[in-house]
Amino acid sequence: MAEVSETSADVPKISIEVLDQLDPATFNWDAFASTYKGRALITRYLAIPNLVFTATSPSPRALELARAAALRAIALLKAETWDAESYLRAVRQVDASAHPERADAVDAPSTDEPMDIDSAYGKKGESEGRPDGAWVEKVRSAAEADKAKLEVELSGYLSNLIKESIRLTYLSLAHLALKTGSFPTAQKTFQHIREYSSGPAHHVELGLGIIEAALAFNESGPLAGNVTKVEASLDRLHPPVTGSSQQASATMTTMQVAQNREIQARSQAVRRAVGVKIRVAKAVLALSHNDYARAARELGEVNEEGGLQEWEGQAISTADTALVSAICALATGSREHLRRVLLDRASFHSAVDDSQGWVLDLVRAFVDARYGEAIVILRKAEPYLLLNPLLAPHTARLVSLIRTRAIKQYITPFSSVRISAMAQAFGSSEDEILAEVASLAEAGDLKVKIDLIDRILTIKDKDARADAFRSALGVGAKANAVTQASTLRMRLIEAGIVVDPAPRDLDEGDGPRVPGWDFGSSGGGGAGGGGAGRSTRSRLTGFGQALGSLARKAKA
């Protein structure tokens, strides 16, 4: 079996054999591309061959699908970027799809040796796994020339300390790095821009640039720190409308009120536009941390607040916001929650693409407790989840969580369930469902007893009577401790030892005292303070007698 292991050892493995369910000849590439554009679409296409060639022995259908995706990515790379490295890698993937024995060369570093354009590209071309050497040399030369030009300009600006020109030149270098496909280089350049940014407007622009680039390249690492920085800078640049700002308009003229409202409207429009990008970044970050509930909530709010609008397809599509939010909600929410945040929202229905009608069918089947139908739909949808760059690393975990939640919700109303009835409801064999329930019970996810002879599942009910007794015993133990402490204090007072909870200040001329304890005044006495010593000894004797009395009563 061709498998790709996930990062965590306790996570199920993803099998790309499910891709055999897809027919490369009839695969709907238009629906797959959706509204994506630019680098985000290139990343989406390249995710398929990257996934396929990570497996040990991909099937012919998977190789054909990878070849088709790589060829589409190649066309976009040549038309819209100067990314020679990604182009050469995609060409090697096309070659490996026709010659699987060359799959090890896919990740080989590119060489700078000159290419025989006539014999290589002219006769065969990318469709046969041969790169366009002329294009590679052209874009590499253009990138080097632009970089050299910008570095010369930057050197002059640094010498003259022209801060704004330095910032803009670094920004051009970052965009050049993104155009050549070097996200790490762009990220380092963005850090230099931060040093020469002044004011919240520059910080918002910088933070959004990093977030947009990270999302387009499907890199979640830089999101955490930049999201919080953008939010803080946005609040300074365009503060949210508060009651105090609205009350201040009562003292303004009609023209001033109109101008103030126009300014606030523009400010809130900017906040909404930036807020959409922040929500998407938070959702992707939560998804990378396996916080599926938050990912579903953030993407659901994106659709509720007006959708992606002009940002459509630059990092994520509206259809994918609906898909990811639905799958994550199914993995973490109850049926009532799913009905409230998915089925009852018109924004969710409008966000689902025409080619993703199965998403609505899946949610409806789950909410209506038709778990067998839901599992069948989910099983058929696994290839599409695996091809989605956002969901691919989490497909196995999400499918497992959805199936586990379905089993839990199925047995919740019953005190006992026959394995045969459960297998029929889930469309599985008795042995399969029994093994699954046993593994869940062993892991502690299900509180059940399994009768292997009669094949009956007995749900362990919560013993309210035992819980009440345990609670009463706990309250009694606390009351007993308080009583003993109060008795001890009373005995100490009877013995003449006064407990003062507040520390006293030292009077002038007095020696150090123990805070909280008063052994009486030092009094007069002979040399060495004999009176004070006798008073202290007598009180300590009384303290010892009090403790002895308590000990005898405890033994009795």
CATH code for position 332: 1.25.40.570
158 domain residue, yes or no: no
Residue in 372, 378, 338, 340 with CA at minimum distance from that of residue 358:
378
Q: DSSP per residue over 22-72, as a string?
A: S-TTT--HHHHHTT--HHHHHHHHHHHHHHHTTSSS--HHHHHHHHHHHHH
How far is Cα 210 from Cα 194, in angstroms, rounded to an integer? Answer: 11
- 3-state class percentages of the chain: helix first, strand second, coil last, to nearest 5: 70, 5, 30
66 and 189 in a single domain? The answer is no
Residue 359 contacts residue 378 (beta carbons within 8 Å): no
421 and 389 in a single domain? The answer is no
493 domain residue, yes or no: yes
How far is Cα 110 from Cα 114, in angstroms, rounded to an integer? Answer: 11
pLDDT at 2: 43
150 domain residue, yes or no: no
186 and 310 in a single domain? The answer is yes
Which tokens belong to 330? 């199914």
How far is Cα 276 from Cα 11, in angstroms, rounded to an integer? Answer: 31
434 and 373 in a single domain? The answer is no
161 domain residue, yes or no: no
Q: How many domains does the chain have?
A: 4
The sign of the torsion formed by the CA atoms of 37, 228, 309, 356 equals positive
388 and 321 in a single domain? The answer is yes
Mean pLDDT by 10 residues, the chain (556 residues): 40 72 90 91 94 86 92 94 94 86 61 45 70 93 96 92 92 95 94 90 92 93 90 86 58 74 81 90 94 93 87 91 94 91 92 89 92 91 92 92 88 82 83 84 78 78 71 90 89 74 49 45 43 50 60 58
3-state secondary structure of 93: helix
104 and 228 in a single domain? The answer is no
The per-residue pLDDT for range 268-318, each reduced to its tens digit, is 888 888 989 999 999 999 999 999 999 999 999 998 888 888 889 999 999
* Cα 491–chain centre separation: 59
pLDDT at 307: 85
Domain span holding position 545: 485-503+514-523+531-555
Torsions phi, psi for 376 (to 5 deg)? -65, -45
Residue 499 contacts residue 516 (beta carbons within 8 Å): yes
467 domain residue, yes or no: no
336 domain residue, yes or no: yes
Residue 211 contacts residue 233 (beta carbons within 8 Å): no
389 and 424 in a single domain? The answer is no
200 and 348 in a single domain? The answer is yes
**CATH number where 429 lies:** 1.10.10
pTM, full prediction: 0.74
* Strands annotated E in 403-459: 416-418, 448-451, 456-459
pLDDT at 542: 58
203 and 320 in a single domain? The answer is yes
80 domain residue, yes or no: yes
Torsion, Cα of 181, 49, 45, 120 (10° steps): 70
400 domain residue, yes or no: no
pLDDT at 495: 81
Which tokens belong to 64? 């054909």
**Side chain identity at 24, as an amino acid letter?**
P
Torsions phi, psi for 208 (to 5 deg)? -65, -35
